[in-house]
Each structure stands twice: as structure tokens, then as C-alpha cells.
A and B are shown apart, each in its own frame.
Chain A
């Protein structure tokens, strides 16, 4: 008996070790790609294989980064953009979910508004940018509105669909206890739709970045979008690429935060 146990333990240890090996292998390849990319970029730029004026180089970007951190302007622009994006993202998701709840609550309203939602969804929201800026003023409120607008309609549609697709038997269980509409929503419809809401969160992270970027391009006062448009206008592409890299990092962090939140929320399903 003991012998068998020992044998099983040894096999298990082997299995764990092989899992770990695989994970290490994947990680090292990922790291390798990252290093190779930046090395190649740097070499290509130094040897003039690519135009350094257009494509800059990692070392030039790093130097600029240090300089911008020192004079404090990078922190200002980044925090402005981050603030706008997070707010746009939150507003878009919350408003979208509220609209979805409203449509679920009043089925007739959903029937009536259906064609309008289709039109609004099909319309490119960024085209509303100029109108927003005129209406709300060339400041961060119109940029946040942009970030919100771009995600709110699709959130409404997706979340409403998931509200409607909740297994009717859960509602039946609640109704046999005499539950009213609010109780049905709170106990079954909303919690059953959390996975869908979370997955729209993931999409909305990307969308609100798009909205905020377009907003900052148009308003052109401050923020990472402003840095990009400014760099473009004065032909300072190191600045453009620096902003791009920062945006990529921040968007990844936001996405990971949502993924972490999802894992926490979904642990019992």
C-alpha cells in the first residue's frame, strides 16, 4: 500500500515538474520575442535600415521617457488620459447595463426602440466627436462623453440579450415563491448575466481607449492623444511612439484588472 502511494507521489511530482517546465518554456519564448523585437528595432534604426526619423529607436524613446518623467509632463498627460478612459469605461458600462435593465423591465419599450438601437449601433460614434465638442466644450467632459458613447450602445444590446436569455426556470423557481419583478431581476437575471457583463467590460476597455484617443485628437489640449497629435504635427515621432507604448502598457494593465475581477467574481461557477 505504502509502496503504491510512494509510486503515485513520484508520478505526481513528475507531472507537476513537466507542467512547470512547459510554463517556463512558454515564458522564455515570450521574453525572447520581446527582446528580439526591441534589439532588432534598435539595430535597424542605428544602421539606417529604417528611417530613424520616422521609426525612431528604443534608446531615443527611453531617453525621451526619462526627460518627460523628469519635467513632470508625462505624468500629467498620462493621468489625464487614464482618468478620462477609466471614467468613459465605467460610464459606458454602467449606463449600458442600466439601459439594458430598463429594456428588460419594459418589454414594450424594447420592441419600440429596437430599430433605433440598430441604427445607433451601426453608426460610427466617433463621427459625433465635433458635435460633442461644440455641445460640451473643448475639455475633458466631451472626451469622457466620447469614451462613454462609443461603448454604451453595444453594452446595452449585449447585456439586454443576456438578460433575456436567462434560463426561464430560474424565474419559475422565484415566481413559485411569489417573487415580484424586481426580485426576479435582483436574484436571477442580474447575477446570471454577470459573465456577459464582464466580457463586455473586456471589450469596453478597448473601445473607451479608442473614444478617448479620438476625443483628445480633436480637443488637442492635453493627454496622451494630444502628445500623439502634437508629435505628428511637429514631426517628432519619438514622442508619438513613446505615447503609443505607454497606451499599450496602460490598456494591458486595465485589461488584466478586469480579468482579475472576473476571476474573483466567477470562482464559484
Chain B
């Protein structure tokens, strides 16, 4: 039985006129359906590159990515991508923004439209449909961006440091909301972060990357008592700080020149 998402011996190199910069070196991993995993590592470890490859925004120099046994080549409707900032289109209303994916894919039917608007209500943004993004706070905007990503009903969500631009309180609340929403819908999710606490609080498994070039160093299974808890409660659990200390040391040992 093949895993839900398989990354097989993927390497990627960026070329410039002067040099070739290896970003990813021979990365292989697999993710099961319904799992929430995190890519953790210092900056420059190729996390975002790998995410772009899985989203097929970028073609890897070597290796393959398969989703449910199918090779990902051109842009896949089963992959949803969420960026560091919301990137809601300022000239569109919230409603137009969240329906954007449906319009682009040409699946803008009464039913899918209804589902998107229901999701908007559910996530606590009822009544903002006709607002423009600049009328909303940072947290609300990122929530709207989540609705936009989920509206097309992707099988896997790629979250590229989606909470990094928010203040701490908003970030904690949003972690909770995103985690709950994804669990309710049984979505597989892949979070890129450099925040150890966030990785532990949210995920089932953590992939640790080293930098220059990006290599997968180790995989950690988050203890089951933490996995069952929501991010906010997981942060209170005694096992949280143990794992935090452990990962801290691991990351520290990866830092070059020290």
C-alpha cells in the first residue's frame, strides 16, 4: 500500500548566471492521509522550495512527487496552498476573494459557492462578504485566505508559514482554528515553519531539515498525548516542553559555524 503523498529522491538546484545553488538534496519522505506534518528547519533549508515542488509550482531538478499514486506534474486541483501573508486581492470583496479558486478552476456552481460561504460563516467571518480586505484585521484576512484555499476542496493543504506575520495572540487563536477546521474536514496538511512550538503544537509528525543544501535530517513522531490535544492545550502539557527542549538542541546542533 502506497502512502498518500510520496516525495521520492527529490533534489533541486537554483541556477543563476554565476553559480548553481543546491537548495534540496535527495529528499525522500511520505505522508499518510489525514496526517498533519511539519517541516521544521533553519532558514535556507529549502522548506519552501519543497513545498513549491509539491504544489507543482516548481519542477524539481531530480526526483518525483506522487499524490495517491499519481505523479504530480502540472498544477493539481487536489493541492491547496496558503502563503505567509494572506494575499487577498485588495480590489475584490471577501466573497469574490474566497470564490476566486472556484472561478479559476471553472467549478463555480451554486453548490460549491454555497459551501464556500458556509465555511466563511463557520470560521467566524459571517457578514464580511461584501467587505474589502483592507477593512479586516490581519487575523481575519488570514482566515479569509484559509477559506479561499479550502473552497476548492483540496485533498492536501500546504501551509507556508501562514502564521508568521501575525501577532502572538492572533497566531495562537488562528493555530487553534486552523487545526480544528482541518481535523473536522479530515484534511491532510503540511506546515512549513521555523517555530518549534508551533510545529509541536499542531502536528503529528515533524520533519527536521538542515540548511545549505536542504537535507532531511530526522523525523520525529509527536507523542500521542500531545497529538490528541488541540494546539493551545498541547502547549500546556508537560510533554510539550520536553519535546521543545529536545528539538531545540537538535536544531542548535544543525547550525553551522558554532
Contacts and interface: CB of A to CB of B under 8 A. Distances in A.
A173 B100 CA distance: 10
B219 to A, nearest CB: 26
Given A187-B89, A188-B89, A269-B134, A177 B100 contact: yes
Interface of A: 167, 169-170, 172-179, 183, 187-188, 191-192, 194, 268-269
Interface string B75-100: 11101110101010111000000001
B1 interface: no
A213 B113 CA distance: 54
A191 B93 CA distance: 13
A192 to B, nearest CB: 8
A178 B77 contact: yes
A218 to B, nearest CB: 43
Q: Which 6 A-B pairs have the closest CB atoms?
A: A176-B81, A178-B75, A177-B104, A177-B101, A268-B132, A179-B104
Contact of A187 (B83, B100, B132): B100
26 contacts: A167-B87, A169-B83, A169-B85, A169-B87, A170-B87, A170-B89, A172-B81, A173-B81, A173-B87, A173-B148, A175-B57, A175-B75, A176-B57, A176-B75, A176-B149, A177-B100, A177-B152, A178-B76, A179-B104, A183-B104, A187-B89, A187-B104, A191-B91, A192-B91, A268-B90, A269-B134
Given A175-B75, A179-B104, A269 B89 contact: no
B20 interface: no
A183 B80 CA distance: 18
A169 B148 CA distance: 15
Contacts, number: 56
Contacts of A268: 90-91, 132, 134
A172 B91 CA distance: 17
A269 B83 contact: no
B226 interface: no
B134 A191 contact: no
Given A183-B104, A191-B89, A176 B134 contact: no
Contacts of A173: 81, 83, 87, 100, 148
B55 interface: yes
A178 B55 CA distance: 10
B101 to A, nearest CB: 4
A183 B85 CA distance: 21
A175 B74 CA distance: 10
A178 B77 CA distance: 7
A169 B90 CA distance: 13
